[in-house]
Amino acid sequence: MMRFSVFTYAAIGFVALAAGAIVLPDWAMFLFAMALAKGLVCLGIVGMMRGGVVSFGQGLYYCLGAYTATLAANFLGVSDIFLLTLLSAAVCLLVGLIFGPLLSSYRGIFFAMLSLALSMVLYGSLSKMSFIGGTDGLNIGAPTFLGWAPEGRPLQTALYLYVVTIVVISGALMRVYFDSEQGLITQATRDNELRVEYLGASVRTVMAYNYAFGALLGGIGGTIAVLALGHVDPEFAFWTTSGEFVFVAILAGYLSVPAVFFAAIILELVRSFSSLYFPNTWQLSLGIFLLIVIVTLPSGLGSLVSRRKGQNT
């Protein structure tokens, strides 16, 4: 069978998404940008899922990234989007490298709840810090792009293309990782830790890597989200925010990278349409949707396109 390279897929993905900059109306472009930013966070969860754990606390990095960018913009006067992204990515990676090894010996519910606890600690702390806005949060101004300071539709378009670029690059890199030797070891870990340890690899190291990647992606996602929204508050770290990320990850499954962003877009669409048409029951619609997904697609959307027989055991 002919196998296209990751780069071909990335190029196709980029063109398809970038076309959105021309065809999408303002509201949809904003929705897609937010969905893709959140998709980045979810991609991090999917990376962990491949190793057999699910973090219920990715809001931690989403929030940390958003606050880092906002504080850098408000107090250090940084407005360049590349610099902001780099800064929050670095901060989140650092925090991820600290917590990763600590969390790496936990599995299942314990991993999920501990990561959730960490995000709730951030939520609690930020809510109490009135000097950076407390529960009201902070505003952030429009970013600049290497000195260029667009406004209105051009700003929105630039931001959208920026997130598309990052999504395509991160998606491609994660695909390369998933298909790599380390990626295969991660999959083996999900399946049989004992075997992996007895082959001479450290399961904890595998877990710590995946956690750190998740932190990095979470921080980048948070940065883009806050730039798109113009505002951040501690809710970014609240458990229901993290719950939605897990929702997207489960909806996508761990087989396909594009499925993650597809799932994120679906969730944003379902959310905005149900809040439009059922303003009082959008959570209800979301819950029912989630149940339907779990029942009908136990291996996620990705299983529709991937050849792998994920639930065959």
Name the 3-class secondary structure at 257. Answer: helix
309 binds another protein (CB under 8 A): yes
CB count within 10 Å of CB 157 equals 19
- Measured between alpha carbons, how far is 142 from 79 in angstroms, rounded to an integer? 8
Residue position matching structure tokens 């761990």: 254
Single-letter amino acid, residue 64: L
CA distance 13 to 244: 24
Q: Which of 20, 74, 145, 239 binds another protein (CB under 8 A)?
A: 239
Q: Which stretch binds another protein (CB under 8 A): 59-67, 88-96, 182-190, 260-268?
A: 182-190
- Mapped onto helix, strand or coil, the DSSP state of residue 149 is coil
Q: Is 201 in the site for another protein (CB under 8 A)?
A: yes
CB of 96 or CB of 143, closer to another protein: 96
Position 114 contacts another protein (CB under 8 A):
yes
CA distances from 204 to 162, 187, 211, 217 (A): 34, 13, 10, 20
- Written as one letter, the residue type at 239 is W
CA distance 185 to 193: 10
Give the x-and-dash track for 145-164 against another protein (CB under 8 A).
Answer: --------------------
Task: Select the residue interacting with another protein from 250, 259, 260, 267 (CB under 8 A).
Answer: 250
270 binds another protein (CB under 8 A): no
Q: Is 169 in the site for another protein (CB under 8 A)?
A: no
| Pairwise CA distance, residues 122 & 232, whole Å | 13
Q: Does 132 bind another protein (CB under 8 A)?
A: no
Q: Spell out the alpha helix ranges (H) of 24-129.
A: 26-50, 59-75, 81-103, 108-128
Among 12, 16, 128, 148, binds another protein (CB under 8 A): 128
The residue with tokens 């997130």 is: 163
- Are the C-beta atoms of residues 272 and 31 closer than 8 Å to each other? yes
Q: Closer to another protein at the Cβ: 10 or 158?
A: 10
Compute the least distance from the CB of residue 199 to another protein, in Å.
4
Query: Applying CB under 8 A, does 8 fall inside the site for another protein?
Result: no
Residue position matching structure tokens 């472009």: 29
Instruction: Please give the C-alpha separations between residue 76 and each of 70, 79, 140, 267, in angstroms, as whole numbers.
Output: 10, 9, 12, 35
Going residue by residue from 279 to 308, which x/- string records binding to another protein, judged by CB under 8 A? -xxxxx-xxx-xx--xx--x----------
- Min separation Cβ 268 and another protein, Å: 16
Region from 16-24, 35-43, 89-97, 186-194 binding another protein, contact rule CB under 8 A: 186-194
Q: What residue ranges bind another protein (CB under 8 A)?
A: 54, 56, 102, 105-106, 108-110, 112-114, 116-118, 120-121, 123-125, 127-128, 176-177, 179-185, 187-188, 190-192, 194-202, 239-240, 243, 246-247, 250, 280-284, 286-288, 290-291, 294-295, 298, 309-310, 312-313
